[in-house]
Amino acid sequence: MTLLATSKLESFYGDFQVLFGVDFEIAAGEVVALIGANGAGKSTFLKTICGVLGAHREAVTFDGQPIGGLPPGEIVRRGIAMVPEGRRLFSSLSAEENLLMGASARRAGPWTLDAIYRLFPLLAEKRRAPAPTLSGGQQQMVAIGRALMSNPKLLLCDELSLGLAPVIVKQIYDALPAVCDAGMTVVVVEQDVTTAQRVSSRLYCLQEGRVTLTGASSALTREQISEAYFGV
Amino acid sequence: MTGTLSWISTVVQGVLLGGLYAMFAMSQSLIFGVMRLTNTAHGDFIILASFGVFSVAVALGLPPAVAPWLAMILMLPIAFGAGYVLQRLVLNRVVGRDPLPSLVVTFGLAIVIENLLQEIYTADPRSIESGGLNVASISIAEGLSVGTLPLLTFAVAVAIAAGMQWLSGRTALGRSFRAVSDDRDAAQLMGLDHRHIYAMATGIAFALVAVAGALHGMKTTFAPADGPALLLYGFEAVIIGGMGSFYGTLLGGIILGVTQVIGFRFDPGWGIWLGHIVFLGMLLFRPTGFFAKTR
Amino acid sequence: MSATFRTFEVHRATRASRAGGLVSLAIVAFLATLPLWAEAGTLREIDELACYLIYAMMWNLLAGYGGMVSIGQQAFLGLGGYALLVMGNFAGINPFVAVPLAAIVTALFAIPVAQIAFRLQGGTFAIGTWVIAEVFRLSIANWSAVGGGSGTSLTALRGIEKATRIHVTFWLCLSAAVIAIAATYLLLRSRQGLALLAIRDSEVASESQGIHVRRTKLGVYVAAAFGAGLAGALYFLGNLRISPDAAFTVNWSAFGIFIVMIGGIGTIEGPIIGALIFYLLNKIASDFGTWYLVGLGALAIAVTIKFPRGLWGGFSRRFDVHFFPVQRRLVLPPDEKGGSFHA
C-alpha cells in the first residue's frame, strides 16, 4: 500500500527551479534510497515533502491525502519526520532535551525516551551532555532519535553519513532494521551509493532535478548507476 | 553614622537598587535571548505599567497598603495578554537578522506611548500610594537599617531570577524558547510554531514588566518621559551581567546599582554618569559580561 | 561546455538621473537667492531643515550603507555644537570659521568612541551608542564653564551685524547640505562605496575578498560623526543658544530615523524626500503637539512594517526610478542569436 507518492513534483528556490517533475512512490514498510550528485535536488526533494519548501497541493500525497505545501508543523503532526542534513541539533540543549523537542508534535506511538536509549545505548550515558559536546556519530543518533520521538509513519533521512567516519556510518545504519521492524517506512538520501544500495530495497537516482533511474537496489549495476548519476 | 557603617549602608542601598534594575533587565533579557529583538520602548512599557497600576489602584478604592498589590496582580494577565498580542500582530513582522526594522518600530512605539501618557496624565510626576511602605525601614544590624520596600523589591527580583531560571531549564516552554532561539527552522521541523513561542516570551516578559512597573511606581515618582532612562539601566544590567543567564542579570543589576549609589554619594550629578562609565568600561574589558551563556 | 565572452559596458547614469541633476542645480541656485528676498523666519526654518537633512544623510550613510544602526549620533551633533561654543566664546575664533573646525574636532572624538562602540553588534550596538550619548550629555551638564545643565549663549556672535549673521548662516547651511549630499553620492559611487555595500551584505565574505572591514567601518563612522558635528555646529550657530538637553536629546535620532525611514533607507533620494515630508508635516501639524508626535510614531511603525526599507526604497525598487543612481548596470550589446551566456 503506497504511503507516500509524488506526481510531477516541481520545486523552486525563489525563481530558480530545482526539481522538474519528479515521480516517486514508497509503500508502507519499505526502505527506499534517493541518490545523486551534489546539487541534484535530493535535499530539496525532502524539504518539499516536509513542508519547508512549497509545492502544489496535489503533487504530494501521503496516506491518501494531498499534503503539498502544508506547513512543516502540520506535516509532522500527520506523521512525517525529517532527520535534517547536518543534524541541526539545538546547541543550547542537552542530548535528552533535544530528544524531548522531537516529541513536540505529541503523536502516540512506541518511540519514547526509553525506546530511543534502547536503540542507541551510547546515548543513555550522554543524555545530559550539551549537544555541541557530542561526537559526530552521537549527534547523528540524537538527530535520528529526535525525529523518531514524534512517532512518525514515514522517516526522511537526509545524508546520515555526512561528515562521519565509515565505521560510525555503519553503526548508524545498523540500527535501521530495528527501526523498520517497529513498523517504520524510511526514505534514505545518500551520496554514498554503496551504502544506499545496501540498506534499501529500491532506489531512485536524481540528476539535475529529474529522476534518471529507478529500480530494485540489488538489481542495478554499477554502469547503470554511473550513467544515471553523472548523466554522461 | 560612622564612616564604615555609612559606606556599608550605601553599598547595601546599591545592592537593593540593583534588584529593581535587574527586574527591568530580566524581561529585556528574555526577549533578546529568545528572538534577538531589541525593544527600545522597553522602559516606556515599564512606565506604562506604573501608570496602569496607579490608575487601577486608585479605581479600586481600597486602603493604600493593599490597593497597589491587588492592582499589580490584576495587571498581570492584562500585561501578559498585551505582550502576546503585540508580538503576534506587530513585532513578529520585524523579528529577523536586520536590527533596523525592530529598532524603528519599537522607537515608534516609545514615542506613541510617551505622548499618549502625556495626553492622558499630563507631564506631572505621579506616585503609587503604598501606605507609607516607601519610607518604612527595617533594622538589620546594630545601627544599620534598610528600606522595607527596597528589601521587598530585591526579594522579588531574586525570586523572579530563580523562577525564570527554572522556566528556562526545566519546562517544555523554556526548552522551546531555547530551541527556537538556537535554530528556528529546525524547531519548525519539530512542529513548533515560532510565532506563538515568541508571543509567549513577550507575554511573560510583559508580566515581569508589570511587576517592575508596580514596584518602581511605589518606590519613586514617575512621569511619561521617564522611560528611556529605565531602558538604559536595564540594558546596562544585562550587558554587565552577561546575556543568557538570569542570575547574571541580577548580578549585573547589583553592580550597576552599587555604582550609581556610590557615584551619588560623591555628587548627585555624577551618579548616573558613573553607572554609564562602568558599563562602557565593561564593554572595553569584558564585552561578554560576567556570566554570558549565549553569544 | 562553451564560454562566450562578449564586450559589455558599465552604465551608471539613468535618464531620470540626468534630468534630476539639472533640476537639482536649478533648485540650489534658486535657494541661494533666498536671503535677498525672504524673511528671517523662513531662512531659519530652512537652516533647521538643512541641519536635519545633513543629520539624516549621515545616519543613512551609517545605517543604510554601513550597516551600523545607531541611536546615539546626537552625541556628535551636540559635541559639534559645544565645540563651536568653546572655540567661539573661549578661543576667540570667528564662529563661521569655527563651524568646519568643530566638525573636525567631532570627527576626532569619534575615533576613540568607535573603539568602545564596535564591541557591540546589531541592536545592542544601537542602545550602546545611546548610552555613550548620555555620557556626553551628563559630562557637559556637569561642566559649569559651558553653562552646566541650563546651557549658555553663543556670545561670540554678538559682535556681528544681524543681517550678515543671518545671511552667512543660511549660505553655510545650504552649502553644507549640498556638500553632504554630493560627498555621500560620490563616496558611494567610488570603490570605497562598493566596499561598503559588500560589507553591509556580508562582513565575512568581504573580509575574505581583501576588504579591510574594520577600517572601512571606522571610516564611515568617523565620516558620519563629522557630518553630525557639522549639523550641530550649524544648528546652534543659528540658534544662538545651546544646552545639553537640546544638544544631546535622543529626539535628534528619532527625527533622523523617521526622515530616513519615511523617505527610504539606503538611497540618497530617501533622506531628501523624507526631510521635505518631515518639514511639511511639521508646518501643518505641529500645533497638535503630542498628537502630532503620536501620529508620527504610528506612521513610522506602519511604514516600516509595510516597507522595511522605507517609502522611497519601495517606490524606486518597484518602478525602477533612480535620481541618484549608485548601482552599476551591466549592459550587454545585442547578440545575433538573442541568447544568454553559456557556461
What string of DSSP letters covers A95-159? HHHHHHHHGGG---SS--HHHHHHH-HHHHHTTTSBGGGS-HHHHHHHHHHHHHTT--SEEEEE-
B269 interaction partners in chain C (CB closer than 8 Å) = 138, 141-142
Q: Is C108 on the interface with B (CB under 8 A)?
A: no
A111 chain-B contacts, CB cut-off 8 A: none
The answer to whether residue C154 scores a pLDDT higher than 50 is: yes
Could you tell me if B194 and B95 are in contact, meaning their C-beta atoms sit under 8 angstroms apart? no
Q: What are C287-301's pLDDT values in tens digits?
A: 777 888 888 889 889
In chain C, whose CA is at the least distance from the CA of B120?
Answer: C290
In chain C, pLDDT over 70 holds for what percent of residues? 83
The pLDDT tens digits for B138-194 are 887 777 888 899 999 999 999 999 999 999 999 999 999 999 999 998 998 888 999
Q: What pLDDT is recorded for position C7? A: 64
Q: Is C257 on the interface with B (CB under 8 A)?
A: yes
Q: Is B122 on the interface with C (CB under 8 A)?
A: no
Q: Does A102 touch chain B (CB under 8 A)?
A: yes
Instruction: Give me the pLDDT at residue C321, please.
Output: 60
Q: Which amino acid is at B225?
A: A
Higher pLDDT, B288 or B34: B34
Beta strands at A65-66 and A60-62: parallel, antiparallel or unpaired: antiparallel
Kindly state whether B66 is in contact with chain C, defined as any CB-CB distance less than 8 angstroms.
no
> Is a pLDDT exceeding 90 seen at residue C232?
yes
Q: Which pLDDT score, from 0 to 100, does residue C342 have?
A: 35
Please write the tens of the pLDDT for every residue from B81-133.
999 999 999 999 999 878 888 888 999 999 999 999 999 999 999 999 888 88
Nearest CA in chain C to B287: C119
Task: Tell me whether residues C122 and B284 touch, CB distance under 8 A.
Answer: no
Q: H helices within C240-289, ranges in order?
A: 244-248, 251-263, 269-285
Strands A202-207 and A185-190: unpaired
Cβ-defined contact of B190 to A50 (cutoff 8 Å): no
- pLDDT at position B110: 94
Indicate the residue of B176, B179, B191 with minimum beta-carbon distance to A77.
B191
Closest by CA to C234, choosing from C109, C58, C49, C91, is: C49
The C-alpha atoms of residue B245 and residue A34 are separated, in whole angstroms, by 44
How far, in Å, CA of B36 to CA of B295, rounded?
11
Cβ within 8 Å, pair C304-B37: no
User: Are residues B276 and C308, on separate chains, in Cβ contact within 8 Å?
Assistant: no
CB contact under 8 A, C254 and B277: no
Question: CB-based contacts of B52: which residues, under 8 Å, 6+ apart?
Answer: B75, B78, B79, B210, B213
Give residues with Cβ within 8 angstroms of B292, minimum separation 6: B242, B243, B244, B245, B248
pLDDT at C160 over 60: yes
Give per-residue pLDDT as tens, C12-57: 666 666 777 788 888 888 888 887 888 888 888 899 999 999 999 9
CB atoms inside a 10 Å sphere around CB C153: 14
The CATH number linked to C132 is 1.10.3470
The interaxial angle of helices C311-319 and C269-285, nearest 10 deg, is: 130
- Cβ <8 Å between A93 and B187: no
Cα torsion C11, C14, C18, C21 to 10°: value is -90
Chains A and C touch (3+ CB pairs under 8 A): no
Q: In the numeric block, which cell numbers belong to residue C273?
A: 524626500
More confident residue, C155 or B75: B75
Residues of chain B neighbouring C294 (CB-CB closer than 8 A): 111-112, 115-116, 119
Could you tell me the maximum CA-CA distance found in chain B, to the nearest angstrom?
Answer: 64
Please, which pLDDT band fits residue C323 given cuts at 50, 70 and 90?
low
Which DSSP string corresponds to chain B? --HHHHHHHHHHHHHHHHHHHHHHHHHHHHHHHHH----TTHHHHHHHHHHHHHHHHHHHT--TTTHHHHHHHHHHHHHHHHHHHHHHHTGGGT-SS-HHHHHHHHHHHHHHHHHHHHHHH-S--B----TTTTT-EEEEETTEEEEHHHHHHHHHHHHHHHHHHHHHHHSHHHHHHHHHHH-HHHHHHTT--HHHHHHHHHHHHHHHHHHHHHHHHHHS-B-GGGHHHHHHHHHHHHHHH-TT-HHHHHHHHHHHHHHHHHHHHH-GGGHHHHHHHHHHHHHHH-TT-SS----
CA atoms within 13 A on the CB side of A59: 21
Give the residue ranges of DSSP H helices in chain C.
15-32, 34-37, 40-60, 74-85, 95-117, 122-141, 162-189, 191-201, 203-208, 213-239, 244-248, 251-263, 269-285, 290-306, 311-319
Closest-CA distance of chain C to residue B248, Å: 17
**Residue-wise pLDDT tens digits, A8-44:** 999 888 888 899 999 999 999 999 999 998 888 899 9
All residues of chain C having their beta carbon less than 8 Å from the beta carbon of residue B102 are: 123
The pLDDT of A208-227, averaged and rounded, is 87
Residues 6+ apart with CB under 8 A from B207: B76, B77, B79, B80, B83
Q: Domain locations in chain B?
A: 19-126+145-285
Q: Are B133 and B69 in contact (CB under 8 A)?
A: no
Mean pLDDT of A146-164: 93
Average pLDDT taken over every residue of chain A = 91
Chain A's closest residue to B176, CA to CA, is A101
Residue B178 with chain A: CB contacts under 8 Å: 90, 92-93, 97
ipTM over 0.95 threshold: no
> How many alpha carbons lie under 13 Å from residue C224 in its C-beta half-sphere?
30
Chain C partners within 8 Å of B37 (Cβ): 123
Q: Which residue has the cell 521635505?
A: C276
CB pairs < 8 Å spanning B and C:
128
From the list B78, B75, B56, B79, the residue with the least C-alpha distance to B67 is B56
Which of C191, C187, C237, C181 shows the shortest CA–CA distance to C212?
C191
Q: What is the dihedral of CA B38, B40, B43, B49, to 10 degrees?
A: -80
Query: Does C300 contact B105 at a Cβ distance shorter than 8 Å?
Result: yes
How far off is chain B from A43, nearest CA to CA, in Å?
Answer: 14
Which chain A residue is nearest to residue B178, measuring alpha carbons?
A: A92
Number of domains in chain C: 1
- Whether B contacts A, i.e. 3 or more CB pairs less than 8 A apart, is yes
Interface test with A, best of B178, B182, B190, B294 (most A CBs within 10 A): B190
Of B178, B183, B190, the CB nearest to A102: B190
Flag whether pLDDT at B256 surpasses 70: yes
How many residues does the structure list for chain B? 295
Helix (H, G, I), strand (E, B) or coil at C343: coil
Q: Can you read off the three cell numbers belonging to residue C111?
A: 575615533
C201, three cell numbers? 551584505
Q: Please say if the pLDDT value at position C311 is more than 80.
A: no
Residues of the domain holding C229: 9-333
Chain B residues 127-166 with a CB less than 8 Å from chain C: none
**Of C305, C307, C311, which to mutate for an interface test with B (greatest number of B Cβ within 10 Å)?**
C305
Interface touch C116/B280, C-beta < 8 Å: yes
What's the rounded mean pLDDT across residues B30-52?
94
Mean pLDDT of A54-78: 92
CA distance linking residue C316 with residue C325, whole number of Å? 10
Which residues 120-159 on chain A approach chain B with CB closer than 8 angstroms? 146, 150
Q: Is B232 on the interface with C (CB under 8 A)?
A: yes
pLDDT band of residue C158 (cuts 50, 70, 90) is: confident
- Which of B103, B269, B287 lies at the smallest CB-CB distance from C123? B103
Q: In what order do the strands lie in the sheet with A202-207?
A: A80-83, A154-158, A185-190, A31-36, A202-207, A210-216
d(CA A47, CA B292): 35
pLDDT attached to residue B295: 38
- Average pLDDT rounded to a whole number, residues A77-90: 93
Question: Does A186 reach chain B within 8 Å, measured CB to CB?
Answer: no
Name the residue with cell 504511503.
Answer: A3
Nearest CB to C293: which of B94, B111, B228? B111
**Looking at the predicted structure, is the pLDDT value of residue A147 above 90?**
yes
Euclidean distance between CA atoms C334 and B90, whole angstroms: 48
List CB contacts (< 8 A) between C131 and chain B. Answer: 232, 235-236, 276, 279-280
Beta-strand pair A80-83/A154-158? parallel
Rounded distance between C-alpha atoms, residue B62 and residue A46, angstroms? 63
Which cell is B127 given? 506616585
In a domain, C34, yes or no: yes
- C200/chain B closest Cα distance in angstroms: 11
List Cα–Cα distances, B255 to A20, A80, A127, B16, B208, in angstroms.
Answer: 61, 50, 36, 10, 21
State whether the Cα torsion A98-A100-A104-A105 is positive or negative. Answer: positive
pLDDT of residue A12: 87
- C191-196, long-range: CB within 8 Å, 24+ apart, which pairs? C192/C216, C192/C219, C193/C65, C193/C326, C196/C65, C196/C66, C196/C220
Residue C11 has pLDDT above 80, yes or no: no
* C36 CB-side CA count, 13 A: 5
Residue B181 C-alpha cell reads as 532561539
Quote the CA–CA distance of C2 and B192 in Å, as a whole number. Answer: 48
- pLDDT for residue C269: 82
Note the pLDDT of residue A46: 94
Yes or no: say if C49 and C181 are a contact pair by the CB < 8 Å rule: no
Which chain B positions have a beta carbon within 8 Å of A94's beta carbon? none
Q: Do A93 and B182 touch (CB under 8 A)?
A: yes
Check A150 against B190: CB less than 8 A apart. Answer: yes
Per-residue model confidence (pLDDT) at position B136: 86
φ/ψ bin of B125: left (φ > 0), alpha (ψ from -120 to 50), beta (otherwise): beta
d(CA B253, CA B241): 7
pLDDT for position C314? 65
Q: Which CATH architecture has domain B19-126+145-285?
A: Orthogonal Bundle (1.10)
All residues of chain C having their beta carbon less than 8 Å from the beta carbon of residue B289 are none
- B87 phi and psi, to 5 degrees? -65, -45
Question: Does the distance separating the beta carbons of C131 and B90 come in below 8 Å?
Answer: no
Q: Using one digit for the tens of pLDDT, what is the confidence trace for A99-144? A: 999 998 888 889 999 999 999 998 999 999 999 999 999 999 999 9
Which site among A104, A113, A128, A151 would you substitute to test the B interface, given the most B Cβ atoms closer than 10 Å to its Cβ?
A104
Instruction: Note the pTM of the prediction, 2 decimals.
Output: 0.88
Residue type, A2: T
Cell of B132: 507609607
Which of B262, B219, B249 has its CA nearest to residue B29?
A: B249
What Rg value do the Cα atoms of chain B yield, rounded? 19
DSSP string, A55-110: --GGGEEETTEE-TT--HHHHHHHTEEEE-TT----TTSBHHHHHHHHGGG---SS
Is the CB of A101 less than 8 angstroms away from the CB of B175? yes
* All chains having 3 or more CB pairs closer than 8 angstroms to chain A: B
Q: Shortest CB distance from B190 goes to which of A52, A71, A105?
A: A105
Q: Supply B55's cell numbers.
A: 490608575
Residue C3 lies in a domain: no
pLDDT in tens, C235-286: 999 998 999 999 999 989 988 988 888 888 877 888 888 898 888 888 887 6
Q: Is A113 on the interface with B (CB under 8 A)?
A: no
Share above pLDDT 70 across residues of chain B, in percent, rounded to a whole number? 96
In a domain, C207, yes or no: yes
- pLDDT score of C1 more than 50: no
Looking at residue C2, its pLDDT comes to 47
Amino acid identity, position C62: L
C92-115 tens-digit pLDDT: 888 899 999 999 999 999 999 999
Q: Which residue of B has its CA nearest to C113?
A: B280
Residue A188 β-bridge partners: A33, A157
C and B interact (at least 3 Cβ pairs within 8 A): yes
Supply the pLDDT for residue C334: 60
Q: Cβ-count burial of C261 within 10 angstroms (0-12 exposed, 13-18 middle, 19+ buried)?
A: buried
Q: Do B104 and C138 touch (CB under 8 A)?
A: no
Judge contact between C277 and C263, C-beta under 8 A.
Answer: yes
